[in-house]
Amino acid sequence: MFRFTPALILLLALVPGVVAAQQAKIAFGGLKQDTSLPVEVEADSLAVNQADGTATFSGNVLVGQGELRLSAGTVRVEYATDGKRIARLHASGGVTLANAGNAAEAREAVYTIDSGNVVMTGNVLLTQGSSAISGQKLIIDLKAGTGVMEGRVSTVFVPGGN
């Protein structure tokens, strides 16, 4: 058995290291967002499907809502049943979500406008200043400015870092 003396515990706490877990709660003050703001979309092309009520933006897609920016290869816009409001954005093809010093990257993301939830999946990497955390799924609540990283979470702590 290993013996952990107070000095060893202090040394381990001060040394940069990797922490692994199944889930980590994260503060997203910089990603807090007013989800009632207009959503603007720019892309190389647009295809509209009246039958299922979707619009698909392709090529260098940039979505903006207030200070929040989302970029991806493709973004499918799903409209609410009234056909007047955007219900959900499904982004794929190298997704980046950024705002005020926070940035998250993943393979895919689904942003449900009314709830303010963004679910990012597939090799998720979140950077906040000099800190980084990775996992397989990141769930962000833009209204509350909070999030949860799931799926073999890994991070590096830098003592004295911001």
Domains and CATH numbers, the chain: 18-156 (2.60.450.10)
Please choose, from the candidates 82, 62, 64, 81, the residue with its C-alpha nearest in 3D space to the C-alpha of residue 72. 62
Quick one: average pLDDT of 128-155? 88
Q: What are the pLDDT digits (tens) for 122-141? A: 999 998 877 889 999 999 99
State how far the Cα of 47 lies from the Cα of 67, in Å rounded to an integer: 26
Window from 9-13, 53-57, 152-156 with minimum mean pLDDT: 9-13
Query: How much is the pLDDT for 28?
Result: 54
Question: What is the pLDDT confidence band of residue 158, given thresholds at 50, 70 and 90?
Answer: low
Token output for 25? 């709660």
Please choose, from the candidates 159, 156, 158, 140, the residue with its C-alpha nearest in 3D space to the C-alpha of residue 148. 140
Query: How much is the pLDDT for 21?
Result: 43
From residue 131, give the alpha-carbon distance in Å to each of 24, 37, 96, 159.
Answer: 14, 29, 17, 11
Q: What are the pLDDT digits (tens) for 74-117? A: 999 998 888 788 899 999 999 999 987 789 999 999 999 989 99
Whole-model pTM? Answer: 0.78
